[in-house]
Structure 1
Amino acid sequence: MNTDLTLEVCWQELTEKLDLAGLSYGHGAIDAQSEALWIIATALGFPPEDAAEALDTTITPELLTQINAWALERITTRKPLAYILGEAWLMGIPFYCDERSIVPRSFIAELIVDGHLEPWLPPSAKVLDLCTGNGSLAILMALSCPDVEVSGSDISMQALSLAAKNIDRHNLSEQIEIHQGDLFESLPSPNEENLFDLIICNPPYVNATSMATLPPEYHAEPEISLAGGIDGMDIVRKIIANAKDYLKPEGALVLEIGNEAKNFSDAFPEIPVTWLEVSAGDDQVLLIQAEDL
């Protein structure tokens, strides 16, 4: 790279460098261009979406050294960029991010922020984020709906330690409660007072064949957060078997199942579902009414 350049030129050159490295994307950036901008924005102290509006900004030699160091680490380690930078962005909100949890990227985030889940959120609703990981969906729900009580559950104590850090970052410790344990086992026994209006979950759902062929970036993440067994439905079966006990009669379960729509339909042919459209299409996230579980 040149040693005296603008953000625009730096962005172009870094994009070419990442492109040539044959990296895989999908952890907060969709391609080399968006990941290059993310690196530069972080060096400048900008949110990634703001950097594209500052193309004339001068990149100093000191900044360029840092940018090149992060790029080299990304290329040589094949770790997700969020792990290298220690931060991920989801729907414009920053989250601390490291190897204790997968990089937040659930399409459920779109539904939360866009208000598509509000029909299932009466005043003072109770929401459960199963498999909460670093807490990003629980936090987005709390930020989007300040009157909602949010609970987050995860089997990984390490992930929950990261979630707690993110909850503190966004000053939401009064609104979000976290529980450690295997799915619903972490929660108090259900009764009329503690049932949920909505359960959201981005569970491990990658089938065994797909797990074996994932790029290195995905294998850098905790396997327990991705692997869903032979057909990807092992954890989903447990969720569906127990969710009704924790939902109000008019409640609903929202599940992200990624590219496993066929495996889901094969596993649960008797359950009527509503597919919720997100940016990746209309077969990634589904909703099941409590009465149909």
Structure 2
Amino acid sequence: MFDQAQNELSTLRDLMRFAVSRFIESELFFGHGNDNAWDEAAYLLLHTLKLPLDRLDPFMDARLTSDERAAVLKVIKRRIAARLPAAYLTNEAWLGDYRFYVDERVIVPRSHIAELLREQLSPWIDDPWAVTRVLDLCTGSGCLAILAAHAFPESKVDALDLSPDALAVAKRNVEDYGLGSRLRLVQSNAFAGVQGQSYDLIISNPPYVNAESMDSLPDEYRREPELALAGGKDGLDFVRILLKEAAGHLNPNGLLVVEIGHNRDDLEKAFPETLFTWLDTSAGDRFVFLLRREELPGLAAGS
């Protein structure tokens, strides 16, 4: 079929139709930036042809050279055969207007916290210029740490991850954005690498996929590092560490902002006395919580 496509398809429109048909036929899973076969195909083809990612229509009837056609068919075939997320094929992922280098050493950036940082966590933070210390736990590619550095221009940011492979990717992104003087990368198991340090803001998009869901993940998610996904039996292993230890690393009135996937009900059941503030995102208000230092378990009870 791909040999036939190489010989018979000539325009971008032809290749788009072919890609969409093959993606649907192959029952690919979409969840790493795009949520359907058309958008996935458009992104991959435009990227491969080095065309603007937001300008498909003007090029739809453009004829491809044989080399361009071969390159497009190669990426379509690899997306299907390897079940690789598109970001691993292009080595890039986007959060709003921010582009990040990614590969299979890190999960594909897709955190809801990103959109909250674009709003500088308003109204929970009154003065973004007053935020001077930020910590990003489980930084992965460094994307949230970089967004935080832009959101809070007077801040120094520490970005922690257990994986040296992930930190190597994060280092590349930090260098790409010229943030080496403001953003420090630390290999650390939870807070171990920042003992004695305190922050105005702690953010984290930790591993939160529960054991049952890990067993049924689509192939595309299985291409991501398990360390960055698996959150234990109920998905809350790392969240429990955050709730237990974050107070010791937050300044008075400091904020903890954490993404927890679909675990809101389990979290509220596990911590019934904690008054979580659930933040509105484009996906709803069940995925990211906020707590002030004084509202954390233990401190809220006065201990």
Q: Same fold (TM over 0.5)?
A: yes
Q: Which moved more, 1:114-123 or 1:169-178?
A: 114-123
Q: What aligned pairs does 1:247-258 form with structure 2 within 5 A after superposition?
A: 247-258=250-261
Partner SS, residue 278 of structure 1:
coil
TM normalised by structure 2 equals: 0.89
Amino acid in the other structure paired with 1:189: G
Residue segments in structure 1 that go unaligned for 5+ positions in a row: none
Aligned to 1:139: 146
Give the alignment partner of residue 175 of structure 2, picking from 168, 171, 184. 168
Is the alpha carbon distance of 1:184 and 1:213 closer, same or farther for their aligned partners in structure 2, counting shifts above 3 Å?
same
Are 2:262 and 2:287, in contact at CA under 8 Å, matched by a contact in 1?
Answer: yes
Q: Does 1:93 align with 2:93?
A: no
Are 1:3 and 1:61, in contact at CA under 8 Å, matched by a contact in 2?
Answer: no
Q: Which moved more, 1:180-189 or 1:151-160?
A: 180-189
Q: Does 1:62 align with 2:91?
A: no
Identity rate, percent: 39
Aligned to 1:287: 290
What is the aligned length? 287
The separation in 2 between residues aligned to 1:197 and 1:135, in whole angstroms, is: 19
Amino acid in the other structure paired with 2:48: A
Q: Does 1:274 align with 2:281?
A: no
Q: 1:286 Cα shift?
A: 0.8
Q: Does 1:20 align with 2:28?
A: no
The separation in 2 between residues aligned to 1:116 and 1:60, in whole angstroms, is: 48
Residue segments in structure 2 that go unaligned for 5+ positions in a row: 297-303
The separation in 2 between residues aligned to 1:13 and 1:92, in whole angstroms, is: 29
Q: Does 1:181 align with 2:188?
A: yes
Q: What aligned pairs does 1:197-236 form with structure 2 within 5 A after superposition?
A: 197-236=200-239
Deviations 1:197-223 (A, max 9, x none): 111100001111011011111111111
Q: CA RMSD in A?
A: 1.7
Q: 1:118 Cα shift?
A: 6.4
Partner SS, residue 250 of structure 1:
strand
Q: Does 1:102 align with 2:107?
A: yes
Comparing both structures, which one devotes a greater share of its residues to strand?
A: 1
Amino acid in the other structure paired with 1:219: R
TM normalised by structure 1 equals: 0.92
Q: 1:9 Cα shift?
A: 4.5
Q: 1:12 Cα shift?
A: 3.4
Structure exhibiting the larger radius of gyration computed from Cα positions: 2
Aligned to 2:78: 73
